[in-house]
Structure 1
């Protein structure tokens, strides 16, 4: 299958491209390159690449592909809160436009990276795909809007599927340090503290980046009726843990580290436990990585590759890195590229 992966130079895309290639797919990437240089260790071998801002994609650039895997987004809540208008422009409007152009170009499958954060403040009960959506941030709201708008254009020749990923964790050559497990392990390696700014009580579902990539591979290969206009939660019930429990797994992994729960950020209203049985029962998909295994992997990779404090807090933190690109004149206020390179 000929597959276009948007955001292939991001955290998830860098893991997903080689997995899809190993599965026999012919993969092309599409990316503007915000995070191309955010690499810990050696840069991965690139696939054929279309370099374009998501907001400027043309239908002819999508012609000839059997499927689009759409990962590209401004992807975290702090960034979305800082720049909600740009978040909606890129994450919502440009994503729906991409889907419409893909349909126009004859693409038959559109795999969209949504998020379990669409469930918002869901409490202690397990939420499945039919639960009410209660997004609490511009990032999560943009994902809900894309699901609604892209579902509206589905037909016999165009099958979207919405993969609601749990919070990602695990090593990627293009690292992110601003997601919970990756952040806690990195902070512990660099400072000796596992530092939690909330009160530690919110529930979080987690899933390894490799397991997310495997879920997309399953949806590429599943019969079209199985995935047509469906939403699937991606993760495993085993990894539904409180932030404090996640932090304790890090303490158990990083030698000599200590747990510090400051509570300075107050209670986090985003709390949800997720039911992942639909993908397991209908697609035969099951996430494999546990949180302790992921913490061990991160500790091993961070120490082997020489993670530094500057890289951790700047290069591998999305908000800080984009601010740096703006300050250096690489991006303008609309996050459009002014010149190449940082």
Structure 2
């Protein structure tokens, strides 16, 4: 199968591409390069790629593909709060535009990376894909809108699948340190303290980046009539954990570290536990394998092996800080478009 992966130079894309290639697919990437330099350890082998901003994709660029795996997005809540209008422009409108262009180009399968954060504040009961959607941030709201708008254009020739990933964790050659487990392991390695800013009580479902890739790989080849226009939570109930439990797992993995719950950011309204039985029924019981303690141990080893530093943790692997640095140096403009001219224009120019 010929597959286009958007955001292939991101945290998930850098794990997804080799998994799909190993499965025998012909993979082409599409990325503007915002996070291409966020490397820890050896750079991954790059697939052939289309170097373009998601907002500028053309129908011609999508012709000849059997499937699009759409990962590209501004990928966390602080980025959404920075400028909600850009989050909606990229995550919502450009994503729906991509789906429409893919349909026009004859692409039959469209796998969309959604999120379990669409459930927002859902209490302690396990939520299924039929639970009310209560997005609390522009990031989550944009995902809800894309699901609705792309579902509206599905037909016999264009089959979307919405994969609502739990909060990702685990090593990627293009690391993110602003997601909870990755962040807490880095804090423990660098300071000896597993520093939790909330009160530690919110529930989070977690899933390893490689397990996300495995589920996408299975969705890619599943019978279309079985998965057409369906939503699936991606993760495992074993990894429904509180932030305090995540911190304890990190302290176990990082020798000499201690948990410090400061509570300085106040209670976090985002709290949800998720049911993943529909995913197992569709894609198999063994698609998701990694536990939180295993992920903490993996990250600890990788941070030591590849020399994680405090400066890189704060600026290279934290999405918001990285983008602010690119803006400061004129490498992106005010709308986060990469400036390829050797004399970059002023933001917004």
TM class by smaller structure: over 0.9
2:59 touches 2:101 (CA, 8 Å); kept in 1?
A: yes
Q: 1:73 to 1:340 in 2, by over 3 A?
A: farther
Deviations 1:49-97 (A, max 9, x none): 0000000000000000000000000000011011100000000000000
1:38-117 mapped onto 2 (5 Å cutoff): 38-117=38-117
Looking at structure 2, the residues matched to 329 and 269 of structure 1 have their Cα atoms a distance apart, in angstroms, of 36
Alpha-carbon offset, residue 45 of structure 1: 1.1
Helix, strand or coil at the partner of 1:201: coil
Deviations 1:281-332 (A, max 9, x none): 1321531000000000000000000001111110000000000000000011
1:176 touches 1:182 (CA, 8 Å); kept in 2?
A: yes
Match of 2:340 in 1: 339
Does residue 1:282 correspond to 2:285, yes or no? no
Match of 1:204 in 2: 204
Helix, strand or coil at the partner of 1:281: helix
1:330 touches 1:340 (CA, 8 Å); kept in 2?
A: no
Looking at structure 1, the residues matched to 14 and 245 of structure 2 have their Cα atoms a distance apart, in angstroms, of 28
Match of 1:194 in 2: 194
Alpha-carbon offset, residue 226 of structure 1: 1.3
1:128 touches 1:274 (CA, 8 Å); kept in 2?
A: yes
Match of 2:318 in 1: 317
Helix, strand or coil at the partner of 1:86: helix
Spell out structure 1 runs of 4+ moving beyond 3 A.
none
Helix, strand or coil at the partner of 1:8: coil
Deviations 1:261-290 (A, max 9, x none): 000000000000000000101321531000
Alpha-carbon offset, residue 339 of structure 1: 2.8
Match of 1:268 in 2: 268
Match of 2:168 in 1: 168
Looking at structure 2, the residues matched to 259 and 265 of structure 1 have their Cα atoms a distance apart, in angstroms, of 16
Alpha-carbon offset, residue 232 of structure 1: 0.2
Q: Aligned pair count?
A: 342
Looking at structure 2, the residues matched to 216 and 283 of structure 1 have their Cα atoms a distance apart, in angstroms, of 9
Helix, strand or coil at the partner of 1:211: helix
Match of 2:4 in 1: 4
Deviations 1:166-191 (A, max 9, x none): 00000000000000000000010000
1:69 touches 1:111 (CA, 8 Å); kept in 2?
A: yes
TM-score with structure 2 setting the length: 0.97
Match of 2:347 in 1: none
Match of 2:13 in 1: 13
Helix, strand or coil at the partner of 1:338: coil
Looking at structure 2, the residues matched to 13 and 334 of structure 1 have their Cα atoms a distance apart, in angstroms, of 22
Deviations 1:74-121 (A, max 9, x none): 000011011100000000000000000000000000000000000000
Deviations 1:132-167 (A, max 9, x none): 000000000000000000000000000000000000
**RMSD (Å), alpha carbons:** 1.0
Looking at structure 1, the residues matched to 283 and 321 of structure 2 have their Cα atoms a distance apart, in angstroms, of 38
1:11 touches 1:173 (CA, 8 Å); kept in 2?
A: yes
